[in-house]
């Protein structure tokens, strides 16, 4: 075992901790110590991380002994019934299949005009505000919030309610009781909306879930509510932080921002390169082994051992990505792990990519003189939050 505690500190807000790079080079499969004193395995090489994420012998079920919870709040939050992303096959497979058709590339591409219109309207409103303005509150957060609310059939008038509850649900420092209360609040709200769809059918995701799955008995009401909570929270919290972090990075690297101002738009691979470089799942994807599994290097992970698959540093593995710390918008292939891999690949990855591309191109074209209104070192980056990003992004423009 190394003497490392996990997660180690960053020295640059746009780069994984240097200690992870050292481990990737010198001890790519090693035990680390986490908050509760346990010592799960930390995997930092791309091939090892990808293999574990695709292997059913590594469970995502946080109730299993040995699962390396992110903290005491996370452990307490997962004691009750969880969402399907915290389930293994076959239950995970059964529930995920009910949603796949909602997130196909064709259906997501159909959302582009509405997303572009929303982005333009938000920026028109932002441009009329006093400077400096907070880009998170004025643009990065409302854009995906509006998108997922419309997709689900949730009124955006309630955005302060669901954004506040989502923030508490994903914040380990809030405490287990606060996490559970926020989840219960959101579940009650969405449960009420789901019941209304039964009485008044509508052509939105909640309506289709009610008519197509709950009414025929394929899905319980509790399962449907859990799905809706997951989609609402994950559908805006992650993308909002990815947008804000990407904007901060691009403003610190103006030669890269210029690609998003071009009339023809950025290269096709620009968004995926930002996702690779700025992987926001910075505390690792957590698993627990259900069998003895040999790993490269002669190490065997035993049944009951916790595993942290560090996708952020795996996305900087020089064995997979030449010159991995350089932003190369023409990088191809770019099979990064920002959305995970295998059965638990993020269901909304097509939507997230579209939102990020629309957000950045609209922003840099509409406000070509955009600049940071505070030194990057003073920005409130989310170092202790499980979803990395920036809480506020003060900007000004010409």
* 81: pLDDT strictly greater than 80: no
The Cβ of residue 168 has, within 10 Å, a number of other Cβ atoms equal to 19
Res 3: pLDDT: 58
The verdict on residue 6 lying in a domain is no
The verdict on residue 101 lying in a domain is yes
Res 270: pLDDT: 98
Q: How does pLDDT run across 217-276, given as a tens digit for each residue? A: 999 999 999 999 999 988 889 999 999 999 999 999 999 999 999 999 999 999 999 999
* 190: pLDDT strictly greater than 80: yes
- The domain tally of the chain equals 1
**Cβ proximity of 199 and 128 under 8 Å:** no
Give the distance, in angstroms, between the CA of residue 234 and the centroid of all CA atoms in the same chain: 7
Residues 6 or more apart whose CB falls under 8 angstroms from that of 83 comprise: 226, 227, 229, 230
Residues 6 or more apart whose CB falls under 8 angstroms from that of 291 comprise: 57, 303
Cα(287)–Cα(347) distance, integer angstroms: 18
**Which is it for strands 394-396 and 133-134: parallel, antiparallel or unpaired?**
antiparallel
Q: Which structural domain range is residue 87 located in?
A: 18-396
CA torsion, ordered 34, 167, 209, 190, to nearest 10 deg: 130
Q: Is 91 helix (H, G, I), strand (E, B) or coil?
A: helix
The verdict on residue 4 lying in a domain is no
Q: Report residue 168's pLDDT band, with 50, 70 and 90 as the boundaries.
A: confident
Q: How does pLDDT run across 10-29, given as a tens digit for each residue? A: 999 999 999 999 999 999 99
The verdict on residue 356 lying in a domain is yes
Q: How does pLDDT run across 111-151, given as a tens digit for each residue? A: 999 999 999 999 999 999 999 999 999 999 999 999 999 99
Q: Report residue 2's pLDDT band, with 50, 70 and 90 as the boundaries.
A: low
Q: Report residue 82's pLDDT band, with 50, 70 and 90 as the boundaries.
A: low
The Cβ of residue 222 has, within 10 Å, a number of other Cβ atoms equal to 11
Lowest mean pLDDT among 74-88, 115-129, 224-238, 342-356: 74-88
Q: What pTM did the predictor assign?
A: 0.95
Residue 341: name the closest of 135, 54, 69, 16 by CA: 54
**Residue range 74-91: mean pLDDT, rounded:** 73
The verdict on residue 2 lying in a domain is no
* 77: pLDDT strictly greater than 60: no
Res 79: pLDDT: 47
Outline where the chain has alpha helix (H).
18-26, 46-53, 72-77, 91-97, 105-109, 112-127, 135, 142-152, 159-169, 176-199, 205-209, 221-252, 254-257, 270-277, 311-314, 349-366
The verdict on residue 7 lying in a domain is no
**CATH number, domain containing residue 173:** 1.10.630.10
The verdict on residue 233 lying in a domain is yes
**Cβ proximity of 351 and 147 under 8 Å:** yes
Residues 6 or more apart whose CB falls under 8 angstroms from that of 257 comprise: 250, 251, 364, 370
The verdict on residue 12 lying in a domain is no
């Amino acid at each position: 075992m190394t003497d490392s505690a996990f997660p180690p500190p960053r020295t640059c807000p746009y780069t994984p901790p240097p200690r992870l790079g050292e481990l990737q080079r010198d001890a790519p499969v090693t035990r680390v110590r986490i908050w509760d004193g346990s010592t799960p395995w930390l995997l930092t090489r791309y091939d090892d991380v990808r293999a574990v994420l695709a292997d059913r012998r590594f469970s995502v079920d946080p109730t299993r002994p040995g699962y390396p919870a992110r903290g005491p709040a996370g452990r307490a939050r997962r004691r009750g019934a969880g969402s399907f992303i915290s389930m293994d096959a076959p239950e995970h497979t059964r529930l995920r299949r009910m949603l796949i058709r909602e997130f196909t590339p064709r259906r997501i591409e159909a959302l582009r005009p509405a997303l572009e219109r929303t982005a333009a309207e938000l920026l028109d409103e932002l441009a009329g505000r006093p400077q400096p303005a907070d880009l998170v509150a004025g643009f990065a957060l409302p854009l995906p919030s509006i998108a997922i609310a419309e997709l689900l059939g949730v009124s955006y008038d309630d955005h302060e309610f669901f954004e506040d509850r989502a923030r508490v649900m994903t914040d380990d420092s809030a405490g287990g009781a606060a996490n559970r209360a926020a989840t219960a609040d959101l579940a009650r709200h969405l449960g009420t909306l789901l019941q209304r769809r039964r009485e008044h059918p509508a052509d939105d995701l909640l309506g289709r879930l009610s008519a197509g799955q709950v009414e025929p008995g394929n899905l319980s009401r509790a399962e449907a509510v859990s799905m809706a909570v997951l989609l609402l929270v994950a559908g805006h919290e992650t993308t909002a932080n990815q947008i804000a972090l990407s904007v901060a990075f691009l403003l610190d690297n103006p030669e890269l921002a210029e690609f998003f101002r071009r009339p023809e738009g950025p290269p096709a691979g620009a968004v995926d390169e930002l996702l690779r470089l700025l992987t926001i799942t910075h505390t690792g994807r957590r698993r627990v082994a259900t069998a003895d599994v040999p790993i490269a290097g002669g190490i065997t992970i035993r049944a009951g051992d916790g595993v942290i698959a560090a996708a952020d540093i795996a996305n900087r593995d020089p064995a997979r990505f030449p010159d991995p710390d350089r932003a190369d918008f023409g990088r191809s292939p770019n099979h990064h792990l920002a959305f995970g891999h295998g059965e638990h690949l993020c269901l909304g990855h097509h939507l997230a990519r579209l939102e990020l591309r629309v957000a950045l191109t609209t922003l840099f074209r509409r406000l070509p003189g955009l600049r940071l209104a505070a030194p990057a070192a003073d920005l409130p980056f989310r170092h202790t939050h499980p979803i990395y990003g920036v809480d506020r992004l003060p900007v000004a423009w010409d």
